[in-house]
Structure formats: structure tokens, C-alpha cells
A = this chain, B = another copy of it.
Amino acid sequence: MRFFTAGESHGPMLTAILEGMPAGLPFDMEDIDRDLSRRQQGYGSGGRMQIEKDKVRVTGGVMNGMTTGSPISLIVENRDFKNWRERDITPITTPRPGHADLTGAIKYGYRELRLSLERASARETTMRVAVGAICKRFLAEFGIEIVGYVSQLGDVVAQLPSDPDYRALYEAAETNDVRCPDPEAAEAMHAAIRQVKIDKDTLGGIFEVVALNVPPGLGSHVQFDRKLDAKLVAAMVSIQAMKGAEIGHAFKQAGLPGSQVHDEIDVDEKGAIHRRTNRAGGLEGGITTGDPIVVRVAMKPISTMLRGADSVNLATGEADRTAYERSDFCALPRAVPIGESMMAIVLADALLEKLGGDSIEEMKPRFDALRGNRLAD
């Protein structure tokens, strides 16, 4: 499975092509639009989210409500485009620290920094969410579900159980506009965002995405580029503003002895094998264990700050202060569905590799015959 996205933040439309999805997957535009809508909602977001109400249009790869196996092409129009086309846009020449303004300009030889930011903007993630929603639908055919929520926003840390019911966490998180399952922390996060607006500053944090009911045996240890944990952290850090990722609580567990980290193994009288804990976060040797896959992702605060930052005007060569471009104060709640999407994409690809085949009909019996965590297998 392969995909590309294309399109600029203020261009006419965003585009994606998803190649390798099997035939016979029921295709529901509302699946996609629901996640697109989740991506647009969250406390701390800027004005644009009021302008855009993203709706996806499928332009290839789907007939009679089912995928055909052909590449799926998707577009989302930028409703803002018309306004922009008519405006006289001043060139940006003072790079914002933390954004791709300066690095992109040096790489591509731009004289105008808007050429960097138009593509570097997180607007691009719209299409990742659209592609991810299709992958979620594919995984759902096999009972696999992906959920996500915020666990830390700024310095406010949610209190979460050590062996949680992830579905319940997700449902709790979806009830508030910071996507945090701990109501008290949610309250405090809300307050933190209010304060940061007053401070004209920005906030990041940590979110977690979790895959449930994944069969054991996806990914592989045999070659460096086939390890599923490596693919998952790459998928997360490939998202705009994400700077780190860990499987389970890897950084905390790095400080503990092995006897407190590894998950001891049990067998019940029916021959079912299970681990007593899931500190491994669902992956051993780069292969799924069958337990929930838990990935934690560190997001930096948004680079565009209303208070500005010291920089240099590349056109004049003088020290300058960055200008404010409409932006979020905290985009963390909105990052959750993006993280879910990237996880869905990685897992759909891994499942396709395990099952092979070209149609859902062909894959279903193969899935049912997979070896599991059972002595009999």
C-alpha cells in the first residue's frame, strides 16, 4: 500500500492517491468526513477552522459504493481559496523560528517564504486523515479499532489507569474539546489554553494512539526496515510538529530494571497464552503481540506565536520580529485524529502484507485462519 498527498494550504484543493487498497471494501464518505470534522475541532484552534468545513470527494477507485482495487483518488476543496485569490498577498521574508520557513527556503532556493509554509502547513494532514479513515474502515472489517486521546497538554498531565480500557478512555476523551479522558485534567488543560491565549504564546503536549484487536504476527524482526515499531514512530514523527514518539512508556521504562519491564507470560486451561501486563505496548521484536499497540507522541508548541519571535528579515538583512499569520494557540486536541490516521495507515499496510490478496472476500478466510496466541496453533 502506498500513498501520496499533494496541495497547498491556500491552493484550490488538496489531493491524495491511495494505491493498493483491495477491492470490495464498503466505502462510506461519512466515515471520512467524520474524521475530517474531528481534525477541525478542538479548543485552542484558530480562526481557520471556522472557515473550512472539509468535505471529501472521491474521484477514483470506488464504484457502486465499494472500492474496486484501483487507486483511490480523493480531493478536498479549500473554501478559503477564493478569498485568497483576490487578495493582494504581501511576501513573507522573515522566517518564523520552529517552522520550515527558513530550512525550506535554503533547501529549495525560495526568495519568498510563503512557498515553504504553504506546503509545510499542517493543512496537509487533511489528506492523511482522509486516507487514514479509509484504512480504519479496512481494519474494521477485521475487528481492529484505533483510538486516541490527549494525555498531557502543556504541563497538565492526565491521570490514567495503568492498565486502562482504551475504548472507554477514547469515549471519555471525545466528550470534551481538549480530547482528554481525565475530566479534571481536561478542565485544567482548558484553563492552560485560556492562559496561553492571554500570554499570546502556544502550547504542545503528548497524545496517545492505541490499536485494539490487532492479531499477533504483524511486522518482522528479520530486517531493520521491517520492524513495525520503527514504522509506527516514523509515521508519528512525520506529522507536522511531532518531535518524538515511544512505544508504551519507553522513556520511563528505560529507568527500570528488566524484572519490572518485561511482561510475564501465562497460559490458561483452554490453552490461551497471554501476557500479564502490556508494558511492551503491544510489540516485541518489532512484531505485534496481540495486546493493544500503544504509541505516545510528543508535540511541540505551535511555531506561530501571536507575541512574535526574534528573527531576521531575509530581504533587508535586518533583525526583525516575526509577523502573525492566523494560527492555533494549541493544536494538540486536533492532532489526535491525525495520529490515529497514521497508525491506521501503518497497520493496514502490515495487515495487507500478512494477508496478501486483492479483495476483502479473499482476505476474510485468511484472517480467520491466522495463527494466534494459542497453544494449539
Contact = CB atoms under 8 A, between A and B. Distances in A.
A107 interface: yes
Interface in A258-316: 258-259, 261-267, 271, 273, 275-276, 280-281, 283-289, 296, 298-303, 305, 307, 309-312, 314
Interface in A228-275: 229-231, 233-240, 243-248, 250-251, 253-259, 261-267, 271, 273, 275
A201 interface: yes
Contacts of A286: 100, 238
A206 to B, nearest CB: 5
Interface string A122-151: 000000100000000000000000000000
Given A2-B4, A206-B251, A267-B319, A24 B109 contact: yes
Given A6-B72, A14-B60, A284-B100, A300 B261 contact: yes
A221 B59 contact: no
Which size bracket describes the interface of A in this complex? 35 or more
Contact of A258 (B24, B98, B319, B352): B98
A155 interface: yes
Given A17-B17, A72-B6, A266 B310 contact: yes
B261 A98 contact: yes
B6 A317 contact: no
Give the oligomeric copy count. 4
A357 B371 CA distance: 11
The prevalent SS among residues of A at the interface is: mixed
B289 A6 contact: no
A355 B356 contact: yes
A226 to B, nearest CB: 8
A359 interface: yes
A176 interface: no
22 contacts: A4-B4, A8-B70, A15-B60, A24-B109, A59-B75, A70-B222, A98-B263, A102-B373, A103-B217, A103-B289, A106-B217, A107-B216, A119-B221, A203-B258, A204-B261, A233-B237, A243-B254, A253-B300, A265-B312, A267-B317, A267-B319, A357-B366
